[in-house]
Structures are given as structure tokens and as C-alpha cells.
Structure 1
Amino acid sequence: MYGWLMMVRKDFRLGLPWLWTGSLFIVCGHLSVAWLLEGQEQLLATLYLLFSHLLFFGLYLILTLSAEAQQLHQWLHVPRPAWQLLLSKIWCALLAATLTFVLSSLYPFSLLVDGIGWVTGLERFFTAYLHLTWFALRFGLILMLIFVLQTVFSFGKGKDWILGLSLLLLILFVPSVSSWILPVGWGGWPDWVQLFEQGAALPLSTLAIGGDGLLMGACFTASSWLLEKRTEV
């Protein structure tokens, strides 16, 4: 356990430049909104920055994996399975996304709190965090699988994007097939427009736990297995 925590610490330090860059982008964005916009436009613009965390987790994960891939040979000397290495990256990306989510929530929360109160405001932002994190995990693990495939196999000749795009479209298409929805459709995504209107009253069962959970598990398992085979001596 101690060794894995040291790995997490190393990975978090590896991603600090992107965490600081993301935080600086958020602060500059909020300052620009406060300076240039007024009223409802301010709230909409800050919420746009907030919901950009749908992409932040995946982007942070891929950037840290890319940095690690430059020294992939060093993983041969790490006495830990590939799934622990990937789990460390995911945990650090989740922590970074949580920190930037809190930072990007401060300004829109200050705009809403006078009208809805502290308790309701915290409930709504916490609900938003749960939904954003779930969707970001799904999207990020798909990107991770695509990245591992491109790293493990040498496709070359500038054709990597064909594999990545094809796999992404396939993964996004499969959950829409009725034969997939039938056994795993334990709940659909809520109406995002109602997210801030209902707040915590929005039941967590509305998360697509079935299909998304199996999809994320499959992506993580496949990524770990492929990376394990790649680093075998």
C-alpha cells in the first residue's frame, strides 16, 4: 500500500504543470467574465467553465500518460502490475479534476447563493459534481484505452487517428443498440437543464450505472492487460 501511495505522489507531481495551467485558465476566465459580462450572462459563462470538466479529466489523464509513455521502458523495473500504474494515473486525474471543479465553482456559487441559499446551493453543486465526474470517468477511460492501443501497437505512417476515431465511434455506438440497453439500462441520464433546478432531489439512480459501469470496467481491464503484455520481459 505504501509503495502505491508513493506512486500516486509521483504521478501527482508529474501532472502539477497541467493542474496549475488549468487553474490559471479558470481564474482568468472568471476574471474576464466578471469584467466583460453582467447579470445572467455572467452565470451562464461561469457554468460553461464549470461543465468544461467533462473534458478536463480525460485531457489531464492523457497528458500524464503521454509523459509517462516517453519513458515506458522504466515501467519494466516497477514491481507492480499495470492496473496499479493506471489506477494511480486515474486517481491523480480525479483529484486534479475535483480541485479545479471546486475552484471553478466558487464564482458561480457566489452568484447563486443569494437567491437559493447555502444549503440548496451546496446540494446542487454536489449533484453537478457527481454527474460530471461520472461522465468524465466514462469518457476518460475510453480515451485511455485508445491511447494504450496506440502505444502498445505500432501503427505508424500517421494512421493512428484512424484507429482512435474508429474505436471511439464504436464504443459510443454500442450503448445505443437496443440489445445492449436491455440488460444494462438501469437508468438514463437526467435532463441537464433541470440539474440546477432540482439539485439533490435528482436521484442518483438516474446515472447510467449499468452500461457505463460495464463499459468503464471493460476499458480499464483491456488497458491494463495490453500494457501488462507490452511491458513483459
Structure 2
Amino acid sequence: MAGKTYQAKVTYPDGATNIVNLPAATDDGYVLSINHTVKNDSVLVRVYGGAAALRSGTRSLSLVGQSGGKVYFSANVPLNKASASLYLSTANVPTGILQFTLFSPAGNPLNERIVFIENKDNIDLKITSAKKVYDRREKVDLNIEAKDSNGKPVGGNFSVSVMSEAAVPSDEVKENSIFSQLLLSADIKGYIEKPNYYFYNPTNETRANLDILMLTQGLPQVCLEGCYCQPNCRKRL
């Protein structure tokens, strides 16, 4: 409510509490909401305008969606009422972080929201061997089969590392794999606890938690060049 001030009371696991003053409320602004769980191959974008912003008449905002430095969406969002909605197909967007930015009529960035797109574009690897148990120093022959999501063979360069799990125990959930490093950790700031948790055994729960990660750690950063650039830009602070 206008004229009111608000605080958040945080309770930590050890029982300690902390009071945090929240920023002053304002009705002159916009809210960008992205829901990519409504349909598997699309996202629902909603833009809400504050009362003061709407009193000035129809605003022609711009929405841009980009991933990996490539723009996949660019649309005008005329806002003459409390909210505007549009569906955008993500079928042709590669797996990874998709960044949406809402711009003012003057081209100034107003809001940013990132989501993680999971399309079936990963290679399906299958490793088999003639035996399940081998003797010490016995030669091991492995067959590696690589296919795409349609079951067609895929060519490429592959490397294999072999270790004794008895000597070096591993937890796949806690590991930082090539997949989680390139598609997740490299594009958002801060420490990610158990990065492979989101990819090792994907479920509706892990997808929901991944979206929470996008909301909490996928915040805009300031570029050293003063521009509003990609999350993986090397010039960002």
C-alpha cells in the first residue's frame, strides 16, 4: 500500500531471527512474470502495470528473449490495462538459460527474468561391456552408443574416465558435471549447492526447484561497459 513501510522477519535454522527493511512500495512500475510449466513447449509471459504507469495511457513496451547470445523472441507489448499476456513457443530454443528483458518505449531495461529451458536435444549415451566383472589388469572392451532424441546415431568426439568407486566414492547429485557447468553454473552468479541435482534425475520437483534457483540467483548484474548484456558476458562484474 502506498505510504506504508514493510519489514521481513527471517528465522534461521538455529532459531536466530533478523529483521530486514523492504524497499519502499511504489505503484509506478511493471512486473514481469514468466511461467514455463503451463505447457512443455512454451512459456506464458505476463506483464503487469502499476496504477501510476497506466494513468499515462497506453505504453508500448518491448520484450526480448535471448539464449547463448542469440535472440529468439522480440515482440511489442502494448499495455493499456492492468496486465497483458502472451504465449511464446520454446520448441526451437536450445536447452539452457533463456533470458527475458522488458524494455520501456525509450529502450531502457525495466525488468529481467531468466528461466531454464529443458528440451529433448541432449545426446543419449549408452555404455555396455561383454562382462560385468573383470579380473585385475584384464582388458576391458566397452561399446559406446550415441543417439539423438529421435534415436538416430550421432557422431562426435568423446572422452571416458574410469575410477574405482570404492577408492573414490562419488555422489552424482553433488557432482558438477560438464552438463551442469556449461548450461547452469557458467551463466548465473553465486555458489550452487549440488548443481547436478537438477539434471541427474529430473522430476517435476527438481524442475520447480530449478525455477526457484533462477528467481533467487538469476538476478541482473551490472556490466563493466555499462550495458545490459548477456548473463555469460565476460565483462560483467
TM-score range, shorter chain: under 0.3
Give the TM-score normalised by the residue count of structure 2: 0.26
Bigger strand fraction: 2
Bigger helix fraction: 1
Give the TM-score normalised by the residue count of structure 1: 0.26
